[in-house]
Amino acid sequence: MPIDLSNKKIIMVHGLASKPPRNRTHQLWRRTLTENIRVSHSRLARSLDANPEVIESAYWADVVPHHIPDDARYTKKLQVQVDKVISERRKVKDKFHVGTGEKVSGFFKDRGIDLVKLLAGALTVKDNVMSNFFRETELYDTDQYIADKMRAPLENALRRAWDEGREPVIVSHSMGTFIAYDVLWRFSHRKTAGFKIYNKKQVKMFITMGSPLGDSTVRDLLFSKHHKSYTPRWFPTNIDFWHNYACLGDVVSHQKNFDEIFYQPMRKLKLFPKSPKFRTIDYVDLHNPFEVVTHSGNRKREKRNPHKSYGYLAQPRLGSWIADYLLDRLR
């Protein structure tokens, strides 16, 4: 007998850079998450299969000017890589094993970012990453018309979920984490049409994966920058649970621990309901199983990508928490 999921909604928010077309991106994210859950909760996964509307994507890549979706050849290769991630997930129970070499590599990657920050005075996300690599982030900061269009898919998905009496969860990655944070802030504090009637609505769980929110330069892009730091107006007020995931060697989430920046001050301001400790958690130094296969002559080389979203979606702990949400175990 299927599990009743009529009041549930999982909304997924992707990160920056090129993406497969909308439907293909949704299929790949949905499959990775569902197969993660299936390892320990096969009946629940079957209920998700029977109720595809429970998982929705807030896809924003196509609002970026001159965005070209990944071609069919790349998407086919990506499917093989995702299949491999799912296969690796099926081999483990509680977490992926982190190898010694990975620990060393991750250590120096993290310290390298810290060294850049020390020498430059601040991590130059705005100057280097935004301008030279991730023009989506630059657009988000400088073009409010485009930024509004980036936020709109998630805003509309949340409105639909609340209007239908559903209890939404947001699963976000990379740039999608601060788009989602801004959206949650707007629903918490804006008094204009389309926001005010939702000021008291809650998101059951906010999941951030490979998030740059720990970096002060990135936080300077958020709406909360216009308000005094560490006051109620500086934070969203509509998050019930917040879990953050950071993989070893993921330089985008180099500031991995959110406790001092977000969790502690939000608890002090009573912005989280009274709860057990697990309401806010940082899962750090995780292994991301996603690998990119390259060929040089007759030699095949596999290179790990610690920032890739599919490796985050396959994390056993993330799957376990989503299952608890779907089974009404989060209190």
As given in the structure block, the two tokens for residue 52 are 């595809």
**55-57 and 167-173 strand pairing:** unpaired
Residues 6+ apart with CB under 8 A from 55: 10, 12, 26, 30, 33, 34, 48
Three-state SS annotation for 159-219: HHHHHCCCEEEEEEECHHHHHHHHHHHHHHHCCCCCCHHHCCCCEEEEEEECCCCCCHHHH
Query: From edge to edge, which strands make up the β-sheet containing 280-286?
Result: 55-57, 8-13, 167-173, 203-209, 239-247, 280-286
For residue 76, give the CATH number of its domain.
3.40.50
Q: Residue 276: what pLDDT?
A: 59
Residue 270 lies in domain: 8-326
Residues 283, 256: Cα–Cα separation, whole Å: 8
* Domain contains 149: yes
The dihedral through the CA atoms of 114, 215, 306, 94 has a sign that is positive
User: Could you tell me if residue 296 is inside a domain?
Assistant: yes
The predicted pLDDT at position 101 comes to 54
In a domain, 1, yes or no: no
Model pLDDT, residue 320: 97
331 falls within a domain: no
Taking 70 as the pLDDT cut, the residues of the chain under it are 100-134, 275-277, 294-300
Q: What is the C-alpha separation between 202 and 200, in angstroms, rounded?
A: 7
Total domains, the chain = 1
Regarding pTM above 0.75, the answer is yes
Q: Tell me whether residue 36 is in a domain.
A: yes
Asked whether residue 34 is assigned to any structural domain, the reply reads yes
- Structure confidence at residue 134 (pLDDT): 61
Q: Which two tokens stand for residue 62?
A: 């196509």
Alpha-carbon distance 13 to 158, whole Å? Answer: 12
pLDDT at 137: 82
Q: Establish if 150 belongs to a structural domain.
A: yes
With H, G, I as helix, E, B as strand and everything else as coil, classify residue 282: strand
Q: Residue 160: which residues within 8 A CB-CB, separation 6 or more? A: none
Looking at residue 130, its pLDDT comes to 36
Q: Is residue 178 part of a domain?
A: yes
